[in-house]
Amino acid sequence: MNLKHFFIFILFGITSLGFAASTAKEEKSSKENTKGDKEEKSYTFRFAWWEMPTALPDLYIQEGTKYIAVAPYSMEMSPEIELNVKDNLKLLKKVPSTEKDSNGRPKDSYEIYSDINLSQTDSHNLGIILVPDKKRNVVGSRVFDFSSRGFPFGSLITVNFTRSNLSCMVDDAIFNIPSGGFSRLPKNFTERSVAFVGIKAIDKDGIENQIVSTKAVFTPYVRSIYFIVENPPNSVNAYDVRCMVDVNKKPTIGNSTEETKASSKEKK
């Protein structure tokens, strides 16, 4: 599989990145859903573009008779949207319509832009990255657990979008990530800290390629995702790093606000 096809496969693959849900739980959830478990559940959504599409669509989510506007940012999560939905989230695009209402004005018309499967993670607090494929004129999506348990502030997640394995180090914490996989740093920063970050790729022949070797600032109010991607052949650097930083705009000790909110939803 060449680099282009591998990257499309990873980004548009069926498997979403649900950091809190185990594979066994995902399989169980999928089986339960096929048995007719279609009850609406309460979710919190945030959206971001992997890269901005050439023509920016006017996006909405339907809730009953209402249409809620969705405005993703580029590699930055949008404000939260709280909704009750079933297993799939239908992201809609407003399109021109020839129909008119009783006042002679054009009616709003919508078509499905992306049908996002939500049953692949147990979390109901999700960050969704929209991935446009400009050549095929379609959009894929990757689903991330953005709950305080699955992705707490003060933590770092590294996603491996390369054909090599990755070896990562943050100070004395070392973790490995297979091709196409992901991992969360096995420690959370509870106070402002400066830590060494090292990431290297190890290809199938065991050859190492240092991608990151630097010091970074970590705080208990910021969480980050590092996406490691391969550059096209003959590029100056074989690999590149894309980073998404999420700042807690309402910081509380231990993310108590978010946890209380999640607990109250579960009781309902």
For 41-56, write each residue's pLDDT tens digit.
899 999 999 999 888 9
pLDDT tens sequence across 126-136:
999 999 877 66
pLDDT, position 140: 87
Per DSSP bridges, beta strands 222-230 and 156-161 are parallel
Q: How many CB atoms lie within 10 A of CB 153?
A: 23
Q: What is the mean pLDDT of residues 108-117?
A: 91
Per DSSP bridges, beta strands 208-218 and 193-202 are antiparallel
Q: How far apart are CA 206 and CA 221, in angstroms?
A: 37
> If DSSP codes are grouped into helix, strand and coil, which group holds residue 5?
helix
Confidence of residue 86 (pLDDT cuts 50, 70, 90): confident
For the sheet containing 109-117, what is the strand order?
66-70, 59-63, 88-95, 109-117
User: Which structure tokens are listed for 192?
Assistant: 């402002």
Domains and CATH numbers, the chain: 3-147 (no CATH), 156-256 (2.60.40)
pLDDT, position 40: 83
Q: How far apart are CA 151 and CA 144, in angstroms?
A: 9
pLDDT, position 26: 40
Which residue did the predictor score with more confidence, 259 or 149? 149
Which residue did the predictor score with more confidence, 118 or 29? 118
DSSP states of 139-162: EEEEEEE-STTTS-TT-EEEEEES
Mean pLDDT of the chain: 82
Which residue did the predictor score with more confidence, 134 or 31? 134
Which residue did the predictor score with more confidence, 77 or 1? 77
